[in-house]
Structure 1
Amino acid sequence: MTAYIAALVFFVLFAAGVLRDRRRFRNAVFLGLALAMLAIGVVDDLAKAPVEVFEVVVVLILAGPALGILVLAGLLLANGVTMVRKEGRGPTNLLSLVAGLGILAFVGLLCAAVVTDDRALEIVATSALLVVGYVAFLFACFIGYAYLYGRMPVRGDVDFIVVLGSGLVGGDQVPPLLAGRLDRGRAVYDAQSARGGKPVLLLSGGRGTDETVPEAVAMADYLVARGVPADRVVRETRSRTTAENLRFSAEIMAEAKPGYRCLVVTNNYHAFRAAMEARKAGVDAQVIGSPTARYFWPSATIREFAAVFLAHAYVNLGICAGLALLVVAAWWRA
C-alpha cells in the first residue's frame, strides 16, 4: 500500500508540474518515480501470490532486462554502423556505436566480477551498477516524457512561428532535416491563416563557418519559393546555438509585439530540450517537432539527453559520485 500511495503522490506532482509548466525536466522525473513506485507495489502484491506464480514473475523481472540490454546493445551497434555510412564519422554520429560498446563493456564488467570473485572488481562493478542504474533511470524518464511532450496539442493561435535553423549544405541549400522543420512551420502557418490568424514566420539561424549565407536567409528563400508571402517572413541571422536562436528571436518578437504569443518548431528529437532552453531564456513558447529519419533518432536522442544531463552537471555528477562512495564505504565496513 505504501508504494501505491507514493506512486499517487508522485503522479499528482507530475500532473501539477505539467499544468504549471510542461517544459520542466522535473515533470519527467516525477512521472518516472510514479511508474517505479507503481511497479514496486505490483511486485509486492505478486509476492503474496502462490510461490509458482511469484517465481515466474521473478524470472521475468530478471531475465527480461538482461535480454533487453543485450538486444539494445546490438541495435545500437547496428545503428552506429548505419550512422557512419550515411552521415560520416563525426563525433555525434558515433554516439550510438559508443553507447552499444559501452553497454557490452558494462555487462562484461559485471560478469567478470561474478566469475573472479575479486573484491576490488566487485566494488567497481557494484559502483558502476548503481551509477548506470541512476543514469538509465533519468534516460528512461527523458525519453518517456519527451515522447509525451511531443504529442501535446498546440494551444490556441500565436503571433509568431519560430523555426530554428540547422546546418546548410553546399553553403546555401536547405537540407532535408531543415526542410522538415520549415514544412512543419508552414503547415502551422497555413492552419492558423485559414482560421483568420496572421502569424509571422520568424526564421532563426546565423551563418556558419562553412556557409555562404546565414541559415535564416536560405530558410526564407525556401518558404517564399513555396508560396509563403514575403511580408510574413522575418529573418534572425545572428544566432549560432539553440539558446541564441531563442534569445535573439525573443528580442525581435518583443520589439514587434509586446506580450506576443509564439510557437517554436524544431525536429521531434530536439523538441523537449528546446522547450527547456526556451523556459531558461524566458520565452513563453510551446515547442513542436518535425519528423526525423528513424536511423538518426538513437544518436540524436543520446546527444539530447547528454546535454540535459550536463546542464545539471553538479547535481547529477554529485549523485553519481555519492553512489560510488556509498558502495566503497559499505565494502570498507564489511
Structure 2
Amino acid sequence: MLLYAPAALILLVFCWRMARESRRFGNAVFLGLAALCGLAAWMYGLVTAGSTTGRVVAAALLGLGALGILVLVCLLFINGLHMVRKEGRSPSNLLSLMGALCVVGVVALVITAAVLRTPVLVGVGVAALGLACYLSFLFLSFVVYAFLYGRLRIRRKANYVVVLGSGLVGGSTVPPLLASRLLRAREVHAQLSGRGDPPVLIASGGQGPDEELPESHAMADYLTERGFPAGLIEREDRSTTTEENLRFSKAIMEKADPGYRCVIVTNNYHAFRAALTARRVGVRGQVVGSTTAAYFWPNATIREFVAVLVAYKRTNVAMCLFFVLCGILAWAAR
C-alpha cells in the first residue's frame, strides 16, 4: 500500500486546493499527478508481482495505450476535415489537423531515432518525446479538470449573471454559439431568482469592425424578444476580449454593489479558461458553460489549451528549454 502513498498525498493536496479556490490551473496539474502516480504504482505492482497474469495485464495496458494513440490520430483527422467543411480554413479551425500531424510526426521521429540511432536523431527524438509527454500530460489534466469544473453546482446566491459575447453573424445576428450562452444564462437567472431577488443580467460584448452594433445590444434584443424582462438587462458594450468582458463587467458590478457575487456564462469548452481569467482580474464569481456542437468541441478545446499555455508562458518555455537540454545531453552521450 505504500506504493500508493504519493498518489494519496497529492490527491489530498488537490482536494484542499480545490476547496480553497477551484479556479486554478494548478488544480488540474495536481489531479493529473495524483492519477499518474496511482497508475505508475499499479503498473509497478503488476510487473513486480512475479505472476504471468500481472505481466500480461501490464503488456495489455501498454498495447491499449498505443491503440489509443492511433484512435486519437484518426479522430483528430476526421474532426479536422469536418471543421474545415463546416467552418472554413482559418488557422484556428485547423488545430485538430495540426494536432494529428504533430502526433504522427513525433511517433515517426521516435521510431526512426530508435532504429537508426544516429546521435542527431537520438537527441532530437529525446527532446521531442519529452516535450510530447509533457504537453500530453498537461492537456489530459486540463480536459479532465475542465470537465469536473463545468459540473460544479452553483452554490451561492448571486446578484448578477454575466454573459460573455462571442461575435455576431452578418454584423447583427446572434449565432447559435452565442444563442446557447444566452439560453443557459436565462436558465441560471431563473434558478437564482428562485432563491431570492432576481439578479441583473449583464450582456457583455463590444462592437467589432465588421459588426453593425455592439454584441451586447444584439444579445439584449435576443433575450427581450423571447420574453426576458428588459429592466433586468445591463449592457457592457466596450469589450473586445474575454479579459475585457470580465474587467468592464466587474466595474459595472462594483459600482452598483461592492459586495456583489456573480455567475458568468460562456460555452462549456471556454468555461475553465474564463474561470482562470476571472480569478486573475479579481471577479468574484463562478463560471458555468452552455452546450456546444459536438464537432466544434475538440478543435475549440485545443484552442483553449493553447491559450492557457500562453498564459503560463514562462513556466512552459522553461520546460521546453529543459527538454531541449535533455536532447542535447542525449546527443552528446552518443
**Bin for the TM-score computed over the shorter chain:** over 0.9
Q: How do residues 123-202 of structure 1 correspond to structure 2 at under 5 angstroms?
A: 123-202=123-202
8 Å Cα contact 2:182/2:219 also seen in 1? yes
Task: Kindly state the Cα deviation for residue 193 of structure 1 after the two structures are TM-superposed.
Answer: 2.1
> Which moved further from structure 2: 250-259 or 65-74?
65-74
In the alignment, which residue of structure 2 is the partner of 1:53?
Answer: 53
1:284 aligned partner, one-letter code? R
Task: Kindly state the Cα deviation for residue 108 of structure 1 after the two structures are TM-superposed.
Answer: 1.3
1:247 aligned partner, one-letter code? R
Task: Kindly state the Cα deviation for residue 50 of structure 1 after the two structures are TM-superposed.
Answer: 3.8
8 Å Cα contact 1:113/1:122 also seen in 2? yes
2:122 aligned with 1:122, yes or no?
A: yes
| SS at 1:294 equivalent | coil
8 Å Cα contact 1:157/1:197 also seen in 2? no
> Which moved further from structure 2: 58-67 or 283-292?
58-67
TM-score, normalised with respect to structure 2 = 0.97
8 Å Cα contact 1:275/1:286 also seen in 2? yes
2:216 aligned with 1:216, yes or no?
A: yes
In the alignment, which residue of structure 2 is the partner of 1:20?
Answer: 20
| SS at 2:240 equivalent | coil
Q: Gaps (5+ residues) in structure 2?
A: none
Q: Which runs of 4+ in 1 moved over 6 A?
A: none
Please list the CA deviations of residues 5-57 of structure 1 after superposition, one character each: whole Å capped at 9, or x if unmatched.
Answer: 11111111101111110000001111111111111111122123343113212
Q: How do residues 1-334 of structure 1 correspond to structure 2 at under 5 angstroms?
A: 1-333=1-333
| SS at 1:146 equivalent | helix
CA distance in 2, matches of 1:48, 1:84: 48
CA distance in 2, matches of 1:50, 1:330: 33
CA distance in 1, matches of 2:55, 2:281: 52
Identity of paired residues, percent?
51
CA distance in 1, matches of 2:163, 2:25: 23
| SS at 1:295 equivalent | coil
| SS at 2:287 equivalent | strand
* RMSD over equivalenced CA pairs, Å: 1.3
Task: Kindly state the Cα deviation for residue 195 of structure 1 after the two structures are TM-superposed.
Answer: 3.5
8 Å Cα contact 2:163/2:185 also seen in 1? yes
Q: Gaps (5+ residues) in structure 1?
A: none
Task: Kindly state the Cα deviation for residue 229 of structure 1 after the two structures are TM-superposed.
Answer: 0.8
Task: Kindly state the Cα deviation for residue 89 of structure 1 after the two structures are TM-superposed.
Answer: 0.8
CA distance in 1, matches of 2:99, 2:331: 29
1:317 aligned partner, one-letter code? V
8 Å Cα contact 2:46/2:55 also seen in 1? no
| SS at 2:146 equivalent | helix
